[in-house]
Amino acid sequence: MGSKDVMTTFAERDIRQYFSEFDGWNIAPITGVQSPVGLYRASRNRLYHEEVAFIAVSFDPIPENECITALDALPSSRGSRVKKFLLTPQATDTSFVPPHVQVLLMKAFAFADGDLVWLTKKKNARQYACAPAAPAPEPVTTPATPTS
């Protein structure tokens, strides 16, 4: 039995949510390509053409250049509409990602204070606030009117 990294399992689940089998997508990992990131190919047949999506998975706070290079090195087949995607945790700095690569955000992971955190829905999970909460306003009291 082979072991699979749990982070890869969550990434594949997110890919299946973005490229649903109900919409006709077939998803498979790309093997035989030397890459520091996980690469996937999603494809579906349309009436007159085939749609192909190449997805690279990165767990880095700033996606490395090798990730984009690995996507660009993948061949585009004739008669297909090929799009390229980068699946990355929430709050990742994607300012260096070129415009031809669309960014998809993971639902299970995010960066908080520079650390990769798992976004869990468990009852006793630690919550990470995006902004500090504002103090509660003080209650307004009206002065009592003297009675004569």
Domain presence at residue 65:
yes
- Rounded distance between C-alpha atoms, residue 111 and residue 117, angstroms: 6
Q: pLDDT, tens digit, for every residue of 68-83?
A: 888 888 876 665 678 9
Which of 67-71, 84-88, 118-122 is least confident? 118-122
Does some domain include residue 49? yes
Q: Is residue 127 part of a domain?
A: no
Residue 141 inside a domain? The answer is no
31: Cα within 13 Å, side-chain hemisphere: 2
Beta strands in the chain (DSSP E): 26-29, 38-45, 50-57, 80-90, 101-112, 115-118
State the CATH number of the domain containing residue 53.
3.40.1350
Q: pLDDT tens across 10-37, in order?
A: 899 999 999 999 999 999 998 876 666 7
Average pLDDT, the chain: 79
96: in domain: yes
- Residues near 147 by Cβ (< 8 Å), separated by ≥ 6? none
The b-or-e profile of 97-119 (16+ CB within 10 A means b, else e) is beeebeebbbebbbbbeeeebeb
Count up the domains in the chain and report the number.
1
Residue 136 forms part of a structural domain: no
Domain extent for 111: 3-118
pTM comes to: 0.74
Q: Any alpha helices (H) in 38-91, and if so which ranges?
A: 65-73
Q: 137-148 as b/e, with b when 16 or more CB fall inside 10 Å? A: eeeeeeeeeeee
**What percentage of the chain has pLDDT greater than the value 90?**
28
Please classify residue 15 by burial: count the beta carbons closer than 10 Å to its beta carbon, then call 0-12 exposed, 13-18 middle and 19+ buried. buried
User: Is residue 131 in a domain?
Assistant: no
Look at residue 135 and tell me if it is in a domain: no
Q: Which residues pair with 53 in a beta bridge?
A: 42, 83
